Amino acid sequence: MVSSTIMENGKSNPSRKPSAVGIGPGNYRLVGWDMDTTGKKVIDEICQIAGYTPSSSYSQYVMPYKDLNPPAMKRHNMKIVTIGKFRVLKDNKTNKALKTKSEVSALTDFITWLSSIRGDAADGIILVYHEPRKVIPAMLIESLKKYNLLERFKQIVKGFANGFNIAEVKCANTVRAYTLRTLSQSLFNQETQLGNAKDRACLALQIVQHLSSLEVTKGNEADGSGDSDSAMKNTVEFIREFVQPVEIEEQEYAELKIVFERQNSLRPIFGVLFRVNRRERQHASPLRRLLAEAGIEYSQLQEAWSNGKKEGLDKLIKEKLTATDEKKIEDVLIVLEGHFDPDKKSKLKISRDKSQIKMKNSNINDDRENNNKCDSGTETPDSTTPNSPLKIKSESSENSTFIAEE
């Protein structure tokens, strides 16, 4: 997945200001925007796109080529059902078919709608969304490129503003979390339905308008929300520093694709770790990303090992990861040495499994005692008890089940 500009290893860092470059003063129009997708990766597809202003809104469902993954089905209350030769997008709650268009038609209509509501905003539209992990701008840009619509889009849209980043800076001392649901409860004292992209687009815009009104009026009763010219200008000025121009988003995505390619080159090292269990996967994922973002590919690691073994790896890693703390560097080196040195790998495996071997021997002894008791007629062994070798074997099989790489 694409990490937010203010996320570090999946955790927010309130002390860091978002890295959005901001835009200069101008005549802009704000539009709340969101998308539902088949998953949370950049390669996933759009299944709903929505936009909102207080005076107009747009919403269109899209028929994707692949099915929604289970978390997306639950999150968006949608599913794809095959009826005969046809695939239908259905609402999970009502089980009714949703009217869909192709992705290219939905995107074309969306751009047309943006053009119609632009009005006299000579400097373009700012799309306001709210997302802890910065994914959907890259997904939208990728889809627009696919159908040669990006240039037309850039003539209308100036950039993107992530309401999560804004709330994280402006509400750092007043709320415990910066999700749409929490902010809706804290700022508006209401529970909002968030299963639909249109609802989230509306709430994303309302939140930045409300935060803007609080700062501009400094506690007075005047409200900065609404679609009036003065309120719009106040909110635009409030969020300008958080706006990321489309060109910068496009550039970041191009750089991100290079990072993805480097991550794929590291699959021989980390692929095995992703298949072990969730804990190993959570430990390995940040290390792989750390190497990829530092510009390190598998071929460089191979060369470093060939030339200097452990010392070669140590030199390369410390040259590239100059701003990384020692603990992470140590973890990276352990993983790399375990990959390139089979003997070291075996030792690590034996060390890690010592406690498991000891437990297994203990379980075997317990089982023998149970069998003796059974023979004497005093107790019947239970194959489902925690000490049962059958259960240990079953758990071992579960742990070896393939887990897809994130």
**67-114 pLDDT tens trace:** 999 989 998 999 999 988 899 999 998 999 999 999 999 999 999 999
- pLDDT for position 345: 55
* Structure tokens, 353: 């499994």
In DSSP terms, which residues pair with 243 in a beta bridge? 161
Residue 270: pLDDT over 80: yes
- Domain boundaries 26-217+227-242, corresponding CATH code: 3.30.420.10
| Half-sphere CA count of 32, side-chain side, radius 13 A | 27
Q: Would you list the DSSP string of 263-326?
A: HHHTHHHHHHHHTT-HHHHHHHHHHHHHHHHTT--HHHHHHHHHHHHHHHHHHHHHHH-TTS-H
Q: Domain spans of the chain?
A: 26-217+227-242, 251-338
Is the entire prediction scored with pTM above 0.85?
no
* Structure tokens, 281: 């996967």
Question: How would you classify residue 148: left for phi > 0, otherwise alpha for psi between -120 and 50, otherwise beta?
Answer: left
Q: What is the pLDDT of residues 199-240, one digit of tens each?
A: 999 999 999 999 998 876 654 544 444 456 777 888 999 999
